[in-house]
Structure 1
Amino acid sequence: MGYTYSAALRVAALLGVADHLADGPKTVEELARATDTNALKLYRVLRLLATRGVFQENEDGRIALTTAAEHLRSDAPLSLRRAVMMLTHETLWRPAGSIVESLRGNPPFKHIFGMPFFDYWAQDDAPAEDFHVGMSSMSEAENLFLARSYDFPDGATVVDIAGGFGGLLLRVLRQNPTLHGILFDQEHVLAANRLGELGADDRWELASGDFFSACPTADIYMLKYIVHDWPDEKAVQILRNCRNAMAPGGRVLVMDAVMPTGNEPHGGKLMDIVVMSAYEGGRERTEKEFRQLLNEAGLKLNRIIDTGCYVSIVEAVAAD
């Protein structure tokens, strides 16, 4: 019944419960009035969330924020509210419930929605809980770990492949003042980029295009949550385009989970089920599988960097 927690978490995010508690604990009745909901039913939802440390019921019966619940606030520095709304949206929820279709060779997302995942989100009438907004929210905390875990060479040009709104590139440029950045994505995504927040417009540029066709020339290529979206043959095509475009001595940084052997829990094992159900052929990979994938693209695995979160940095260089 673990899905009941996700359902309750979605309720709290949609209603903005954490925002209503920003100025202190409140009774359930006060929260119900603020969110225009039934007090008893709202209490039952919050009661479940409190068992996981998301909200807390005080001895006087009032509901209070916890450290975890703080991240559901819209104005939190590392707000995960939009990430929760994305991860519990029907476009991920429903395919996960039909994941057996994937095992039978029938992509669950296409089976339900009639088109591939990225085609769905590229529509003009895509839902308000935009995929890219949710990904940006989820990535903010991860980007802290990734940006500080890699020693970028001075003066290098770094391109963020399919970098969305540019949150990762923004973090990297802030921490490395000699770098020049290129945000590479589709035009409609680039229109909402955040790089202006850097306050140094001469240090970055936008480039639109299709990574299956070609990638910009650069010294460092960052591919976060890109390779895991695709089956091997398409992932190789993306990586080969990076290899063909990169400057001498360049590096490709694949930022995905590296699946461990054995039975221990790992965030990548959860993400693997998400990509299996949502994307056609998407998967998380082991070190051995990364080596093979990179070799086919004319690259070789140089090292794997543990970033302190479940997303690792797989550094690749040109094969001899």
Structure 2
Amino acid sequence: MTASPYETVMGFIVGPWLAQAVRAAVDLSLAEHLAGGPRTAAEIAEAEGSDPAATARFLRACASMGLVTYAEKGFAGTEALAVLHRDAPMSLRDLAASQSSALLWHTWARIPEAVRTGESQTELALGMPFFDYLAAHPDEGQLFGRAMASMSAPVVRAAVEVIDVAGATTVVDVGGAHGSFALAMLARHPEFDAIVLDLPHAVPGARAAAAEHGLDDRLSAVAGDFFTAVPAGDLMLLKFILHDWGDDESVHILANCRAALRPGGRVVITEIVIDDHAPGIAPLMDIAMLATAGSRERTLAEFDDLLTRAGLRRIAATPVEPPYFVIEAIPAA
């Protein structure tokens, strides 16, 4: 049955409750506790040191959301809850913790001001720009890096299958955080080596990820700033980078990538591409980026404009996981 307008808008209004309930499920490790079978609220409360009565009420709320179901003995996990398990193949545990944390919520509480001014609200909310905040708070920076890796996992998996790698041997993951894109490329192409470029706070995570995957002999993580220079390579991977920046900054990044390309190389952009008339997450992400960074998601025509200004031209735009595309470009001249 179709929801009434009242029910639809009420669903929007209680959205924050749902997101924070998911975060609480992560904090209480519900997916891990219920992975082996049903447990009572009292058992979970004892394991977590939480209030027994409040835990029972919370599990009732989780049942209403479809995260758990009632069982003969207490509560059982659902397939939706399993996605929050730390060992799930594409776990959303870190993303749930990061996206519902004070780091982002203080900023998103100022979305009305962002719409009125057209400007980022992060500095007003947190006292400093977003990436400066991550650098100043390493634990939150590491969580955010893991969250972005988990969110991008299905996109990366699809992207590595469609990128033209002819003639390439070295990939540069520009602003690559923990190097998830570079690692996927290395796993797919054993002849490659890779460089991850990011700010100093992200480098330890990239090195640890490479060691965890047994690829530290083929991946190097270097501290740097893509506004200053980019290491030389055949494929410049820009995953979820340009949406963090305004047009002039994005052109600067792309121009530095173009300057670092070896002969025959390509710039590969993996981003949301907005279709003005399509429903889904893209327009919402656009507003989140406005509030967080004063930046935006873009249409394909807007990407083409950035590329032209940076001395590049698009040669392909391949849809992968909706609403994401892989955009490939080469030097225009």
TM-score by length of 2: 0.88
Closer, same or farther in 2 for the Cα pair 1:200/1:118, shift >3 Å?
A: closer
CA contact (8 A) 2:141 2:201 kept: no
More divergent stretch after superposition (45-54 vs 217-226): 45-54
Secondary structure of the structure 2 residue equivalent to 1:192: helix
1:69-84 alignment, distance < 5 Å = 69-84=81-96
More divergent stretch after superposition (226-235 vs 29-38): 29-38
Secondary structure of the structure 2 residue equivalent to 1:248: strand
CA contact (8 A) 1:256 1:311 kept: yes
Residue in structure 1 matched with residue 111 of structure 2 by the alignment: 99
More divergent stretch after superposition (304-313 vs 107-116): 304-313
CA deviation string 1:193-236 (max 9, x = no partner): 21223435443323321100111111111111110000111111
CA shift, 1:78, in A, is 2.4
Secondary structure of the structure 1 residue equivalent to 2:45: helix
CA shift, 1:100, in A, is 1.5
CA deviation string 1:35-60 (max 9, x = no partner): 222344334433444444322233x3
CA shift, 1:267, in A, is 2.5
Matched, 1:205 2:246: no
1:291-302 alignment, distance < 5 Å = 291-302=304-315
Show structure 1 runs of 4+ deviating over 6 A. Answer: none
Residue in structure 2 matched with residue 26 of structure 1 by the alignment: 39
Residue in structure 1 matched with residue 273 of structure 2 by the alignment: 258
CA contact (8 A) 1:236 1:293 kept: yes
The alignment covers a number of residue pairs equal to 317
Flag structure 1 segments of 5+ consecutive residues without an equivalent.
none
CA shift, 1:28, in A, is 2.2
CA contact (8 A) 1:98 1:108 kept: yes
1:214-293 alignment, distance < 5 Å = 214-262=229-277, 264-279=278-293, 281-293=294-306
What value does the CA root-mean-square deviation take over the aligned residues?
Answer: 2.1
2:114 & 2:128 partners in 1: Cα distance? 15
CA shift, 1:170, in A, is 0.7
Closer, same or farther in 2 for the Cα pair 1:303/1:127, shift >3 Å?
A: closer
What amino acid is aligned across from residue 111 of structure 1 in structure 2?
L
Closer, same or farther in 2 for the Cα pair 1:32/1:164, shift >3 Å?
A: same
1:111 & 1:214 partners in 2: Cα distance? 30
140, 157, 161: which one aligns with 1:144: 157
Residue in structure 2 matched with residue 192 of structure 1 by the alignment: 205
2:331 & 2:83 partners in 1: Cα distance? 40
37, 41, 45: which one aligns with 2:58: 45
1:15 & 1:234 partners in 2: Cα distance? 41
1:109 & 1:101 partners in 2: Cα distance? 11
CA contact (8 A) 1:8 1:46 kept: no
160, 183, 190: which one aligns with 1:177: 190
CA deviation string 1:103-132 (max 9, x = no partner): 233532111111100011101565487322
What amino acid is aligned across from residue 132 of structure 2 in structure 1?
D
1:35 & 1:95 partners in 2: Cα distance? 30
CA contact (8 A) 2:154 2:321 kept: no
The structure whose residues are more often helix, as a share, is 2
More divergent stretch after superposition (303-312 vs 8-17): 303-312
Flag structure 2 segments of 5+ consecutive residues without an equivalent.
1-13
CA contact (8 A) 1:212 1:241 kept: yes
TM-score by length of 1: 0.91
CA contact (8 A) 2:274 2:323 kept: no
Identity over aligned pairs, percent: 36
CA contact (8 A) 2:243 2:271 kept: yes
2:307 & 2:86 partners in 1: Cα distance? 39
1:114 & 1:25 partners in 2: Cα distance? 45
